[in-house]
Amino acid sequence: MIHKNKLGLFLITFLIFCLLYSTVTAAVLESEKRVFATKTQIFINELTQLKIPKNAVGISLIKIPNEIYPFKPVIYGFNARKKFNPASTVKLLTSYYALVNLGKSFRFKTEFFAQGEKINNSFTGNFYMRGRGDPKLVYEDLQEIVLNIRGTGLEQLNGKFIFDDSFFSEPDIDVAMFDGKKNKPYNVGPNATLVNFKAVELTVKKINRKLDVSIHPPLADVKIKNNIRWLRGNCSRNKIHLREMEGTLAVSGTFGTRCKRRRLYIGILSHDKFAYSMFKQLWIDSGGSFKQVLQRGIVPENVKPFYIWHNPRELGSLLKDINTLSNNPMARNLFLNFSSKMDEAGSLQKSRKILSEWYQEKRILDTPVLIDNGAGLSRKTKITPEDLSSVLADAVQNDEFEVWKNSLALAGKEGTTINRFRGMDVSGRAWVKTGSLEGVQAISGYIFTQKNEWIIFTVFVNHKKADKVKVILDKFVNLLYLDK
């Protein structure tokens, strides 16, 4: 009888403890949510002063517990399940899929083939360059490639230089289609044999009271026509205009008399002509003779590569460029790689399907998402703030979380945030991905708070006045960081 009484007393005590613990835990969670709600209201009030309505804003916040008790994350949302245009923050979905499915150590390659006759140091025939979707095959790489091929004894190339970009099935995009700015590097489209992001640095500088115009790296068969005229004043008078003609880049506009130099990056030519011109120039610079004509084509099945270039950069390093620098051509190339195989060319449609289905199968996202091109330079892509925060939350549990987190820009210190978060406490204490389009501002990432706690955050603003909210967004991230 005594035994039964003790057992009954124990059960009652245990139930009371559970009830009290549940009540305390719920109270703590509600208190944390109220803090998020208060800070969110401060942010919303600032946007209201710009006459940006509440329905133009979406927020998702997750506080990750660093103790066993309470063990539930604090989740707060404001229009968190409403779909918005995420701009470049959508690169997070592209890059996380790549990290999980390709691995941080994955390396891309580019292959070279020769079908013809070699006599002594001279080759005559078809010389093929075939890319496998490398997002970052840059000038220095191609320089080393040329020197390595020259090291095999080749000096003179005759015949055809055949550009093979068949690893992707997508045609070259109309670079002026998105915003009419065809020479902006961010508008460069993807290509399986992408070289140097199809971009060069244009420099206009004063030399002995004359204006000199040049490009780097230099490109064979591309002449510069200088039509720039002086205009009294400083660098604010600079207005540079470009016009591409067959074999000529015409540079016109005005240049301030008190300005010494102006540099800008520009995308020019088509992918095949760009790769051909750079390769040809490097071959000539190495002391070789180049007498090949450009042609697009596909490597025959029975031809074996005589040289294979393996990118010295691992995928983990490439993701840093994609997320910290928000490199669009790299993200678009990476996206098409998801559906590319040796016997099957990658396409946007297939990559969209693969990405959406994977996130649902892994139960990271509940509903299908349309990731138009993987880079964010799109008006079609729509996701919810909750979607993006869910991806960031899943990454916390991944073995490569440090690689993933560090692929984001350290707030106020690097990449797209270098001129943001100035004088704010959160500078150097958050890892963020920004996004910006006309009518869109977005930011997402991780904050290591004043209390040494982790907060995942995503904020979207879709409104015609979105370009005015960057500082307000930064202040909100800083407010989330602060212990008040």
> Is residue 480 scored above 70 in pLDDT?
yes
| pLDDT at position 133 over 60 | yes
| Domain membership flag for residue 18 | no
Within a domain: 16: no
Q: Residue 423 above 60 pLDDT?
A: yes
Same domain for 253 and 169: yes
Residue 124 and residue 189 share a domain: yes
Q: Which domain holds residue 323?
A: 37-104+319-481
Q: Do 249 and 345 belong together in one domain?
A: no
Instruction: Report pLDDT for 28.
Output: 61
What is the Rg, in whole angstroms, of the alpha carbon atoms belonging to the chain? Answer: 27
Looking at the structure of the chain, the number of domains it has is 2
β-bridge mates for residue 294, sequence order: 161
Q: Do 335 and 473 reside in the same domain of the chain?
A: yes
Q: Whole-angstrom Cα distance, residue 24 to residue 17? A: 10
Are 264 and 170 in a shared domain?
Answer: yes
Give the H/E segment covering residue 293: strand 289-296
> Domain containing 434 — which CATH number?
3.40.710.10
Same domain, 261 and 399: no
Q: Average model confidence (pLDDT) for the chain?
A: 92
Q: Above pLDDT 70, what percent of the chain?
A: 93
> Could you report the per-residue pLDDT of 182-210, keeping only the tens digit for each?
999 999 999 999 999 999 999 999 998 89
Looking at the fold, whether 432 and 293 belong to one and the same domain comes out as no
- Residue 9's pLDDT band, with cuts at 50, 70 and 90, is low
Q: What was the pLDDT predicted at 372? A: 95
Q: pLDDT (tens digit, 9 = 90+) per residue, 232-254?
A: 999 999 999 999 998 999 999 99
Residue 38: CB atoms within 10 A of its CB come to 11
Q: What is the mean pLDDT of residues 408-412?
A: 98
Say what the pLDDT of residue 209 is.
83
Q: Are residues 190 and 299 in the same domain?
A: yes
Domain end marker among 276, 310, 344: 310
Evaluate whether residue 2 is within a structural domain. Answer: no
The reply to whether 71 and 120 lie within a common domain is: no
21 to each of 25, 326, 421, how far by Cα in Å? 6, 45, 40
Average pLDDT over residues 422-438: 97
DSSP state of 54: G
pLDDT tens track for 324-340: 999 999 999 999 999 99
pLDDT value of position 297: 97
pLDDT band at 342 (very low <50, low <70, confident <90, very high): confident
DSSP letters, 176-199, are TTTTS-TT-GGGPPP-TT--GGGE
- Domain membership of residue 59 (yes or no) is yes
Q: What is the pLDDT of residues 26-57, one digit of tens each?
A: 566 678 888 999 999 999 999 999 999 999 99
Encode pLDDT of 294-316 as tens digits: 999 999 999 999 999 999 999 99
Query: Pick from 260, 289, 310: which residue ends a domain?
Result: 310
Do both 267 and 326 map to the same domain? no
pLDDT tens-digit map of 135-177: 999 999 999 999 999 999 999 999 999 999 999 999 999 988 8
- Inside any domain, residue 340: yes
**Do 53 and 44 contact (CB within 8 A), yes or no?**
no
Whether residue 289 lies inside any domain: the answer is yes
- Domain final residue, candidates 310, 344, 370: 310
| Pair 352, 470 in one domain | yes
Q: Please indicate, yes or no, if residue 224 is contained in any of the structural domains.
A: yes
Contact 318, 330 (CB under 8 A): yes
Q: Indicate whether 387 belongs to any domain.
A: yes
Overall pTM > 0.85? yes
Give the residue from 162, 207, 200 showing the smallest Cα distance to 183: 200
pLDDT digits (tens, 9 = 90+) for 356-386: 999 999 999 988 898 999 999 999 999 999 9
pLDDT score of 20:
42
pLDDT score of 32: 85
Residues 326 and 293 both lie in one domain: no
Residue 118 bridge partners (DSSP): 123
Whether the per-residue pLDDT at 5 is higher than 60: the answer is no
- Among the listed ranges 65-74, 105-114, 196-205, 341-350, which one has the minimum average pLDDT value? 65-74
* Count of Cβ atoms closer than 10 Å to residue 465 Cβ: 14
